[in-house]
Amino acid sequence: MSEQQTYLAPDVVPRLAAIDVGSNSIRLVVAEAQAGGRYRILDEERETTRLGRSLAANGDLDEKSIEDSLTALRRFKSIITGFGVEGIRAIATCAVREATNGVAFCQRVQDELGLEIEVIDADMEAHLAFQSVRRRFDLVGKNTVLADIGGGSTEIVLANGELIEAVYATQLGAVRLAEKFGDDLTLDEKFLPMKRWIDRELRKTTEKPAAPLHLLIGSGGTFTSLASMLMAGRGLSRLPAAGYRATRADVCHLIDRLRKMKPEERKATPGLNADRIDIIIPGLAVIDGLMRRFRVNTLQVHAYGVRDGLLLTMIDQLQGTSAIASPNQDEQIDRFAEACGVNMVHSRHVAKLAVEIYAGLREFYELPAGDGRLLETAARLQDVGYLINYEGHHKHSYHLILHSRLEGFRPEELEIIANVARYHRGSAPKKKHENFSELNEADRLRVRQLAGVLRVAGGLDRSHNQTIRDVKVNGAPGQVVLTVSADEYPEVDIWSCRRRAELFEEVFEAQLSVQWAGHANGALPSATAADGPAAQLESGPAPKVQQALKASGK
């Protein structure tokens, strides 16, 4: 089909429009959806309106920026109408999100233009940027950091392969920094305080990765301007900036060169747009700070970004009727676990045992029925952190699950699942742990209960050979008895279960006993097992009870 025929027959394929209302500029892309989640761009437009201009000074969007933005959006609406677009999605980021009159601005757009603006949070902004990167870069086997530098903020994503490990939101926007420290940064007394402030913000909002990073992938106008200037200096301005690689030395040398110029001299810099003259040094300083913080020496420019991720998301939703594009929840969990190298047989068996224990406890404890589903998912995903490394893998599991965007779970449910997986081993939940302290009191109790069950269930397959087939719960509040079925006495698994019982006993205020069904039916375990530590643990007092008896001399 020719391009002319496509224009004459807009009903043949869906046409979509994505609008990104940023702190520095507003961008429009009109595209034609294609098979396989791809699209063909029909038109693009960009207007620099500086919505974030006065944000640092007074927390408001100033009237001129608002009027300029309304004018730009009115033009965009006309372009969209001309293309016969079937689906429109407009998002706003940092400036509108933070401004005291951000809601009023969105209402004006709705009233005057009939256009609904969706204000997204920093986490969604980061995920949209990563969605774009994941489609266009080969991330397999690489530890990367993605930075999307905007006018008011920088969103950072740490990724292992195609899985997100952590998302960080910072106040490091190019326009915000220019407002805070001034646009004349040739003097050290202005530039150095800004550099220190960037370093402090990164230390405050981010954690260093557990494994060395291979690459910084950068999206946003600062990165594309960096590439354009470096390429122009090397006689490569004829080539697109997308995919261009640079080193930290390139960044530092360019900062030094631009700082030696007066603002009016920068206008003649090849590759630098006039509307970025006053914000380019703050933006480049953020890049330098990121490379220092994450100890990355190489960056690669991503010419797309949030609006590309938004379009891809719209197309995925549009084409999400096929089984391949939208696997069911169980398949999604398996794919996620397999991608992280999880032992699927072990994790599924632990999940089965955990659900059996939880169901049995509900006979004499008031526990939410729906939490069994969260427990099962946490059990199946508890070891996804192995993707990063074994040491502290439970902490990595928390981050990977939290940012997995598994469909079918509400965000608050995914947070519970991530926390339960986080505490399947290691220290018990504590209020000083940020991930745990952010939960309300009721959810903290749920996490402690589910993690206590998961630890015990994990112990019952410590041997990883599924010796214990199933488990039944008997007893009463204060005295819980687990009866396990196995062809032979599961010494290692019972021993491990009792070792992991402390959180369970604490949260359920109960002494936990574990017995083998063969023993309960009158068949004794082997003499070796009966005489060993496992047999003593099988029916002996709980650890706290043992300590109390020892202290009393009994």
Question: Alpha carbon of 74 to those of 3, 110, 115, 387, 484: distances in Å?
Answer: 26, 11, 9, 48, 69
Contact 166, 126 (CB under 8 A): no
Domain formed by 3-120, architecture: 2-Layer Sandwich (3.30)
Residue 519 pLDDT class (50, 70, 90 cuts): low
* Cα 371 from Cα 80, distance rounded (Å): 46
Q: Determine what percent of the chain falls in helix, strand and coil, rounding each to the nearest 5.
A: 50, 15, 30
Residue 292 pLDDT class (50, 70, 90 cuts): very high
What are the two backbone dihedrals, phi and then psi, of residue 553, each rounded to the nearest 5 degrees?
Answer: 85, 10
What's the pLDDT score for residue 521? 52
Residue 212 pLDDT class (50, 70, 90 cuts): confident
Q: Are strands 38-48 and 117-119 parallel, antiparallel or unpaired?
A: unpaired
- CA nearest 406: which of 326, 350, 322? 326
Contact 175, 279 (CB under 8 A): yes
Are 3-120 and 123-304 the same fold in CATH? yes
Sequence-distant (6+) residues with CB within 8 A of 8 are none
- Give the end-to-end CA distance of the chain in Å, rounded to a whole number: 89
- CA nearest 170: which of 144, 151, 143? 151
Residue 259 has pLDDT above 70, yes or no: yes
CA 38 to chain centre: 23
- Select 123-304's CATH number: 3.30.420.150, 3.30.565.10, 3.65.10.10, 3.40.1390.10: 3.30.420.150
Q: Say whether 439 sits in a helix, a strand or coil.
A: coil
CA 522 to chain centre: 52
Q: Say whether 479 sits in a helix, a strand or coil.
A: strand
Q: What is the pLDDT of residues 364-386, one digit of tens each?
A: 899 988 899 999 999 999 998 88
Give me 427's structure tokens: 């220290």
- Mean pLDDT of all residues belonging to the chain: 85
Window from 168-177, 229-238, 396-405, 514-523 with minimum mean pLDDT: 514-523
Contact 175, 51 (CB under 8 A): no
Higher pLDDT, 2 or 358: 358
Over residues 135-154, mean pLDDT: 89
Sequence-distant (6+) residues with CB within 8 A of 365 are 477, 508
Task: State the DSSP string of 440-464.
Answer: -HHHHHHHHHHHHHHHHHHHTTTTS
Domain formed by 329-551, architecture: Orthogonal Bundle (1.10)
Q: Where are the domains of the chain?
A: 3-120, 123-304, 329-551
* Cα 83 from Cα 350, distance rounded (Å): 54
Percent of the chain, pLDDT > 70?
89
Percent of the chain, pLDDT > 90?
54
Contact 44, 28 (CB under 8 A): yes
What are the two backbone dihedrals, phi and then psi, of residue 323, each rounded to the nearest 5 degrees?
Answer: -65, -35
Window from 281-285, 305-309, 519-523 with minimum mean pLDDT: 519-523
Q: What is the pLDDT of residues 228-246, one digit of tens each?
A: 999 999 888 777 788 888 9
